[in-house]
Amino acid sequence: MRDRLYIDGAFVAPALGGTFEVIDPATEAVIHHAPAASSVDVDRAVAAARRAFDQGPWRQTTGAERAVMLRAIAAGIRARSEELARLEVLDVGKPLAEARLDIDDAAGCFDLYATHAEALDGAREIVPLADPRFTCTVTREPIGVVGAIVPWNFPLPMACWKVAPALAAGCTLILKPSELTPLTALELAAIVDTAGVPAGVFNVLTGFGPEVGAPLADHPDVDKLAFTGSVATGARVMTAAARSIKTVTLELGGKSPFLIFADADLETAVDWVMIGIFWNQGQVCAATSRVLVERPLYDRLLARLVEVAATIPIGPGLEPGVKLGPLVSRAQYDKVRAAIARAVADGGRIAGGGGRPAGRDVGWFLEPTILTDVPLDADAWREEIFGPVVCVRPFDSEEEAIGIANDSRYGLGAAVMSADRERGDRVAARLRAGIVWVDCSQPAFLEAPWGGMKQSGIGRELGRWGLDAFLEVKQTTRFVGGRRQPWYL
């Protein structure tokens, strides 16, 4: 595990020499002391990225040349996939099988954007003009220096969702991972370095929000901010960006609904509810944590969901067969337990789970929790809990279900399940969310856009939309109509 920052093509000690503890959430043991960056290191990293963009060779590289390096990064991730997956388990607590999928996603992201980088070469649009004396072409060029701030729930994939398209576009960047999960970001730096990316193009600063994230967001030499995290922190990032009119991409929280109609298959519905809320311990921004079930199916689905959730194997992510690991930190564990207690105080009922699993006295483990009778104005129904907690309630009509689903300040994800394909499509069209799943919940594909409406964010990641977020549009107009009479004569 690395104990140095990555700035200007080298692993260097933090300017102020600080470190912070990295804790295994399954054992509560300190497993590493990571380097703690400061605003001094932010200035160093931004200066390096600025030089690399303005004066270095990176901006002049072709998309094809960048693609070679992006594919080398993908290969480097795959060559170390098992090691990286195990680091993620130790850092964030997720089961090893899930961590392996995350590493595959990270490598695939670089391969995808290598192809997109190649497509940039020679790409231009001819714009027809009403005045034949002029021609106009539109091209896209890199936006500049990027500050990328990523969360702890999917540490390496969330980093790669930003790093890969930024590099493909020709940008330089500074990556700030969560202080809870810094390990794989530093390993990514080593992989990028080996791939031959020039010094200063990619930099990694580990540390805390006030000392690293805030000065990075506020830095006048940063051209764009790409942030994934909470609504509250996203608002602060957006405020900082406004001071120097930076472009922002924000992927924020969610409280995604899952509408299940009475004609849905019971077992299939339960399977997708389980994936939608208990994957990654429910620490998923798009988790379908509000489940609305048509009344004729409600009692049977609730009973089956409680029954199946109680069988989920819980334990440290490296133990064979584990499907539900610990929450990421003591603070997150306490926050989720407090949210469950408030839900009960507000009139909700715990139908299943809600406590610490038997035999798990060490580590931040929590049983998968199913709440019913939660009032529509209660925090548990309206606010993101970010843990393995789902609220389930019945509905009586399609209109009622859609109204309840859309009554939220969030709009990241939503799901609908029905044997009636026409109804599924009709309801999907009316759900106010950036991502809508029909007859499923949570699949995410690198090729498709990811992002939300309302307070769930601004802009989109992944696919060609993710590349567009790091490109500026430039118009070039040429006068070709011969000598023109000057207007002042």
* pLDDT, tens only, 25-84: 999 999 999 999 999 999 999 999 999 999 989 989 999 999 999 999 999 999 999 999
> Region 144-164: what's the mean pLDDT?
98
Q: What is the rounded CA–CA span in Å between residue 415 and residue 400?
A: 15
Q: Is the pTM of this model over 0.85?
A: yes
User: What angle, 0 to 180 degrees and rounded to 10, lies between the N-to-C axes of helices 96-120 and 155-169?
Assistant: 10
Could you report the per-residue pLDDT of 88-114, keeping only the tens digit for each? 999 999 999 999 999 999 999 999 999
> Quick one: tokens of 286?
């798009």
- For residue 488, the model assigns a pLDDT of 67
Domains of the chain, with CATH numbers?
5-252+456-475 (3.40.605.10), 257-438 (3.40.309.10)
Could you report the per-residue pLDDT of 404-414, keeping only the tens digit for each? 999 999 999 99
For residue 483, pLDDT beyond 80: no
Strands 134-142 and 471-479: antiparallel
For residue 486, pLDDT beyond 90: no
Q: Among all residues, which ones are annotated catalytic?
A: 251
* pLDDT, mean over the chain: 97
Percent of the chain at pLDDT exceeding 90: 97
Strands 224-228 and 145-149: parallel
- For residue 130, the model assigns a pLDDT of 96
Could you report the per-residue pLDDT of 363-373, keeping only the tens digit for each? 999 999 999 99
What 3-state class would DSSP assign to 239? helix
Across-strand partners of 383? none
Our measurement of the distance from residue 160's CA atom to the centroid of its chain's CA atoms, rounded to an integer in Å, reads 10
Could you report the per-residue pLDDT of 194-218, keeping only the tens digit for each? 999 999 999 999 999 999 999 999 9
- For residue 484, the model assigns a pLDDT of 67
Which are the contacts of 155, defined by CB distance < 8 A and separation ≥ 6?
A: 88, 91, 92, 177, 178, 181, 183, 184, 185
> Region 416-422: what's the mean pLDDT?
98
Percent of the chain at pLDDT exceeding 70: 99
Could you report the per-residue pLDDT of 369-387, keeping only the tens digit for each? 999 999 999 999 999 999 9
H or E, element range at 164: helix 155-169
Across-strand partners of 224? 146, 247
- For residue 59, the model assigns a pLDDT of 87
Backbone angles phi, psi at 28, to 5 degrees: 65, 15
For residue 485, pLDDT beyond 90: no
- Residue 435: CA atoms inside 13 Å, Cβ hemisphere, count? 27
Could you report the per-residue pLDDT of 319-364, keeping only the tens digit for each? 999 999 999 999 999 999 999 999 999 999 999 999 999 999 999 9
369-375 — which CB contacts under 8 Å span 24+ positions?
Answer: 369/340, 370/302, 370/305, 370/306, 370/309, 371/340, 371/343, 372/302, 372/348, 373/347, 373/348, 373/349, 374/343, 374/346, 374/347, 374/348, 375/346, 375/347, 375/348
Q: What is the rounded CA–CA span in Å between residue 210 and residue 38?
A: 9
